[in-house]
Amino acid sequence: MPEFKLVISDRETGKTVQIPVKDAKANALIGRKVNEIISGDLIGLPGYELKITGGSDRDGFPIRPGVHGPGRKAVLISQGPGIRDKEVKRRKYVRGDTISQDIVQINMVITKKGKRSIEELAGLKEEGS
């Protein structure tokens, strides 16, 4: 069974929440792609809409948009995820833009908020406090 750590960012408040998901909730994310908007109901966040922005696999290789498929590939890149030196093109291994069981961390951004705060839904804050 897959297990992911979701890193969900709220750009309005600047806060980030980490939520571990496994079993049925994790299975709902397999096959999704970077820049895809998903319903928060799939992962236990009713009323929310989330956009997948990236992530990394179990060995630390980043998910790179534009590289198709779930596998690891060597790509010639000069900027963006997986590269630091902006002046030289390098062949680097990156992960494709499709989420598979090899992914450990998935980065997301909130595009539409629900009625309850994300801290309450994640169990990090008591209701009403």
At 88 the pLDDT is 79
* Calpha distance 97→117 (Å, rounded): 29
| Domain housing 114 | 3-122
As beta bridge partners, residue 92 has 75
Q: Does any domain span residue 39? A: yes
The per-residue pLDDT string of the chain (129 residues; one tens digit each, 9 = 90 and over) reads: 789 999 999 999 899 999 999 989 999 999 999 999 999 999 889 999 999 999 999 999 999 998 999 999 999 888 777 677 767 788 889 999 999 999 999 999 999 998 888 888 877 665 554
- Give the number of domains in the chain: 1
At 117 the pLDDT is 85
Q: Are 72 and 93 in contact (CB under 8 A)?
A: yes
Q: Does any domain span residue 127? A: no
* Calpha distance 12→98 (Å, rounded): 27
